[in-house]
Structure 1
Amino acid sequence: MIYPSRLQKGDTIGVIAPAGTPNPEKVQKAIPFFKKMGLHVKLGKHIDKIYGYLAGSDKERLADIHDMIANPEIKAIIFARGGYGTARLAANIDYHLIRSNPKIIWGYSDITYLHTAIRQATGLVTFHGPMLASDIAKENFDYLSASMFNQLFEPTALHYSEAISSLDVLASGYAEGELVGGNLSLLASSIGTPYEIDTLGKLLLLEDIGEEPYRVDGMLNQLKLAGKLADAAGIVIGDFSEAEPTVDVSLTLEQVFVHYFQDLGCPVMKGFKIGHCLPHFTVPLGVKAQLSTIGKSLVIEPGVR
Structure 2
Amino acid sequence: MNKRTFIKALGLTAGLSPMMALKSDVLAAQSPEDAKTILPMPLKKGDTVGLVSPSSASNDEILFQFAQETLEALGFKVLPGQHLTDRYGHLAGKDEARAGDINDMFANKEVKAIICIRGGSGAARILPLLDYKTIKKNPKPILGYSDITAIHNAIYAQTGLITFHGPNGTGSWNSFNVKQFEQMFFEEKLVKFENEQEKGDDLIVKKNRIQTITPGTAEGVIVGGNLTVLTGLAGSPYLPDFKHKILFLEDVGEDPYRIDRMMSTLMLMGALDEIKGFIFGQCSDCDPSGGYGSLTIWQILQDYIKPLGIPAYRGAMIGHVSKQFIVPIGAKVKMDAGLGVFEMTEKIFQS
**Cα-to-partner distance string for 1:94-114 (whole Å, 9 max, x where unaligned):** 100000111111011111111
Q: Are residues 1:253 and 2:297 paired?
A: yes
Q: 1:162 to 1:48 in 2, by over 3 A?
A: closer
Q: Are residues 1:216 and 2:252 paired?
A: no
Equivalent residue number for residue 275 of structure 1: 319
Identity of matched residues, %: 39
Q: Describe the SS at the equivalent of 1:75.
A: strand
Q: Are residues 1:81 and 2:118 paired?
A: yes
- Give me the whole-angstrom Cα distance separating, in 2, the residues matched to 1:19 and 1:296: 32
Q: Are residues 1:152 and 2:185 paired?
A: yes
Answer yes or no: is the 8 Å Cα contact 1:239–1:271 preserved in 2.
yes
- Give me the whole-angstrom Cα distance separating, in 1, the residues matched to 2:178 and 2:224: 22
Q: Describe the SS at the equivalent of 2:55.
A: coil
**Cα-to-partner distance string for 1:234-292 (whole Å, 9 max, x where unaligned):** 10101110100111421112111111112112111111011111211111110101111
Quote how far apart the aligned CAs of 1:219 are. 0.2
Over 4 Å off, 4+ runs:
none
Quote how far apart the aligned CAs of 1:163 are. 4.3
**Cα-to-partner distance string for 1:112-139 (whole Å, 9 max, x where unaligned):** 1111110111111100010122x13xxx
Q: 1:147 to 1:84 in 2, by over 3 A?
A: same
Equivalent residue number for residue 45 of structure 1: 82
Q: Describe the SS at the equivalent of 1:127.
A: strand
Q: Are residues 1:286 and 2:323 paired?
A: no
Answer yes or no: is the 8 Å Cα contact 1:62–1:89 preserved in 2.
yes
Answer yes or no: is the 8 Å Cα contact 1:159–1:299 preserved in 2.
yes
Equivalent residue number for residue 280 of structure 2: 237
Quote how far apart the aligned CAs of 1:160 are. 2.1
Structure 2 residue aligned with 1:161, among 186, 194, 199? 194
- Give me the whole-angstrom Cα distance separating, in 1, the residues matched to 2:340 and 2:227: 23
**CA RMSD in angstroms, aligned pairs only:** 1.4
Answer yes or no: is the 8 Å Cα contact 2:144–2:166 preserved in 1.
yes
Equivalent residue number for residue 123 of structure 1: 160
Letter in 2 for 1:144: F
Quote how far apart the aligned CAs of 1:4 are. 1.0
Q: Describe the SS at the equivalent of 1:103.
A: coil
Letter in 1 for 2:334: Q
Answer yes or no: is the 8 Å Cα contact 1:19–1:81 preserved in 2.
yes
- Give me the whole-angstrom Cα distance separating, in 2, the residues matched to 1:93 and 1:33: 27
Q: Describe the SS at the equivalent of 1:191.
A: coil
Answer yes or no: is the 8 Å Cα contact 1:5–1:103 preserved in 2.
yes
- Give me the whole-angstrom Cα distance separating, in 1, the residues matched to 2:103 and 2:221: 27
The TM-score normalised by the length of structure 2 is 0.82
Tell me the matched-pair count. 300
Equivalent residue number for residue 108 of structure 2: 71
- Give me the whole-angstrom Cα distance separating, in 2, the residues matched to 1:24 and 1:122: 34
Q: Are residues 1:300 and 2:344 paired?
A: yes
Letter in 1 for 2:146: S
- Give me the whole-angstrom Cα distance separating, in 2, the residues matched to 1:277 and 1:84: 18
- Structure 1, unpaired ranges of 5+: none
Q: Describe the SS at the equivalent of 1:230.
A: coil
Q: Describe the SS at the equivalent of 1:115.
A: helix
Equivalent residue number for residue 183 of structure 1: 226
Letter in 1 for 2:39: Y
Letter in 1 for 2:153: T
Q: Describe the SS at the equivalent of 2:289.
A: coil
- Give me the whole-angstrom Cα distance separating, in 2, the residues matched to 1:265 and 1:82: 34
The TM-score normalised by the length of structure 1 is 0.95
- Give me the whole-angstrom Cα distance separating, in 2, the residues matched to 1:262 and 1:41: 45
- Structure 2, unpaired ranges of 5+: 1-36, 198-207
Answer yes or no: is the 8 Å Cα contact 1:160–1:297 preserved in 2.
yes
Q: Describe the SS at the equivalent of 1:180.
A: strand
Answer yes or no: is the 8 Å Cα contact 1:191–1:197 preserved in 2.
no
- Give me the whole-angstrom Cα distance separating, in 2, the residues matched to 1:219 and 1:241: 16
Answer yes or no: is the 8 Å Cα contact 2:115–2:142 preserved in 1.
yes
Quote how far apart the aligned CAs of 1:161 are. 2.7
Equivalent residue number for residue 52 of structure 2: 16
- Give me the whole-angstrom Cα distance separating, in 1, the residues matched to 2:73 and 2:102: 25
Quote how far apart the aligned CAs of 1:297 are. 1.9
